Every structure is written in C-alpha cells, then in structure tokens.
Structure 1
Amino acid sequence: MPQFVIEREMPGAGKLGPEELKGASQGSCNVLRELGPEIQWVHSYVTDDKIYCVYRAPSEELIRKHAVTAGFPANSIAQVRATIDPTTAE
C-alpha cells in the first residue's frame, strides 16, 4: 500500500502537553476507525510548529478526507517513493 508523509502546519505544536497530544491522537484514531482499514497511521514527528505524519493509504484523497473529518490541516501530502537509511550505503 502506498505510504505518504503529511506536513501539518500547527504553530506551537511542540508545546502541546501529553494530554493534548493524547486527545489529538484519539480524535485521529476515531476518524480512522470510521474510514476503515484502508488507511493507517504509522507515526508522527512533532516539531516546534509542525507535525509530520506518516500514513499508509490507497490514495491522497483518502488522507485529505481524514484530515478534513478530523479537523487537522494537511498543508502538503507527498507519496514516499523509497526509503533509505545508513544500510543503503553498504
């Protein structure tokens, strides 16, 4: 299944506390359950003013539907074409 990276501009995201992050995660998971098993949230990286999320889904459109339904911005969505790490150099 295709994998995507979603960039969400969320000023102050890095200052969100554990309870706020838990609430956002719960909201996202609730919408994911409604949309069905075709879309999966892998993980997210929280930075000062953005959250970068990795999802698996059959299409960018389904990711956008999740964002709108959950009330999260999806400022950019890019399909992952390859994954590299230090072992790629070997």
Structure 2
Amino acid sequence: MPKFVIEREIPGAGNLSADDLHGISQKSCGVLCELGPQIQWVQSFVTADKIYCIYIAPDEETVRKHAEMGGFPANSIAKVATVIDPTTAE
C-alpha cells in the first residue's frame, strides 16, 4: 500500500505541550479506528510551525478524509515514490 507525506501548517507547533500532542494523537487514533485498518499512521515530525506525518493509505482521498474528520490541516499530501537511506549508497 502507498505511503504519503502530509504537511500540516500549524503555527507554533513546536511549542505545543506534551498534553496538547497527546490530545492530538488521541484524536487522530480515534479517527483512524473509525476509518478502519486501510489507513495507518506511521509517525510524525514536529517542527516550529509544521507537523510532517507519514501515513500508509490506499489513496490520497483516504488521507484527506482522515484530516477532515479529525479537524487537522492537510496543506500538502505527497505520495512517496521511493524510500532511500544510507544503505542506498552501498
């Protein structure tokens, strides 16, 4: 199943408290349960004003539905073409 990188513009994201991030995570997981096993949240990276999320989903529409149901921004959704890491250089 394809992977997607979602860019969420959230001003001040880097200043969110542990409780804030816990609440956001709980909301996301609740929506994922409603949508079923075809969409999975892999991990997210919090920066100063954005959160970048990695999801596995059948299509972009499913990722957008998760964002809409959760009330999360999804400013950019990109399907991952391939994954590279240091072992790619070997």
The equivalent residue for 1:70 is 70
TM-score between the two structures when normalised by the length of structure 1 = 0.99
The equivalent residue for 1:81 is 81
| Percent of residue pairs identical | 69
Structure 1: how far apart are the matches of 2:15 and 2:33? 28
Structure 1 residue 37: deviation in Å?
0.3
Q: Which amino acid aligns with 1:84?
A: I
The equivalent residue for 2:13 is 13
Structure 1: how far apart are the matches of 2:47 and 2:24? 15
Question: Unpaired runs of 5+ in structure 1?
Answer: none
Structure 1: how far apart are the matches of 2:86 and 2:69? 37
Moved beyond 2 Å, runs of 4+:
none
Question: Unpaired runs of 5+ in structure 2?
Answer: none
The equivalent residue for 2:48 is 48
The root-mean-square deviation of aligned C-alpha atoms, in Å, is 0.3
The equivalent residue for 1:27 is 27
